[in-house]
């Protein structure tokens, strides 16, 4: 699990080294300026990279994270560094995708969160992984994640 911090960002405005692992990364949160409103915040990471735990070869994914915040928002620089820390991390697609969702939920305790991991083929088979924390809050407009199923070159 990533380290978490109190709601006072420590990474903003500083040059910071890339964390070497998700355990070393620090996820930070900031106060939600509209805690009484249900709205969706989306982060898209189209160039997510991790390592195959068996071969050590790089794996690539397009991640889409949607959440309905409660009291806090995830601080985006810390999220970018956290996601980048997986570049040296060996884990299966399912583990990476679900772990990211769980780590963000542990930090924020959002009203709702989902993550779609659209992984590029490994061994000729694309693997898509989807996880969500529960039911979408009533009345929330939730757009499609907009990532088509893998089709190869055509």
Angle (deg, nearest 10), helices 76-84 and 93-108: 150
* Per-residue model confidence (pLDDT) at position 6: 61
- Annotation marks residue 105 as catalytic: no
pLDDT band at 124 (very low <50, low <70, confident <90, very high): confident
Range 19-132 has CATH code 3.30.1130.10: yes
Cα 79 from Cα 36, distance rounded (Å): 24
Annotated catalytic residue: which of 59, 66, 96, 103?
A: 59
Which CA distances in Å does 89 have to 1, 40, 103? 12, 29, 15
Structure confidence at residue 9 (pLDDT): 79
**For 52-67, what is the mean pLDDT?**
96
Confidence band for 153, pLDDT divided at 50, 70 and 90: low
The answer to whether 52 is a known catalytic residue is yes
User: Domain residue spans in the chain?
Assistant: 19-132
pTM above 0.75, yes or no: yes
- pLDDT at residue 154 above 70? no
Report the chain's mean pLDDT, rounded to a whole number.
93
């Amino acid at each position: 699990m990533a380290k978490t911090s109190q709601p006072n960002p420590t990474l903003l405005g500083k040059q910071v080294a890339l964390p070497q692992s998700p355990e070393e990364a620090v996820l930070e949160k900031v106060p939600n300026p509209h805690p009484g409103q249900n709205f969706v915040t989306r982060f898209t990471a189209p160039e997510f990279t991790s390592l195959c735990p068996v071969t050590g070869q790089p794996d690539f994914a397009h991640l889409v994270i949607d959440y309905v915040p409660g009291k806090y928002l995830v601080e985006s620089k810390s999220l970018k560094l956290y996601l980048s820390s997986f570049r040296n991390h060996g884990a299966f697609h399912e583990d990476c995708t679900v772990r990211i969702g769980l780590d963000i939920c542990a930090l924020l305790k959002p009203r709702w969160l989902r993550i779609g991991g659209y992984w590029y083929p490994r061994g000729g088979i694309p693997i898509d992984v989807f996880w969500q924390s529960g039911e979408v809050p009533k009345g929330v407009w939730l757009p499609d994640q907009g990532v088509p199923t893998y089709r190869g070159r055509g």
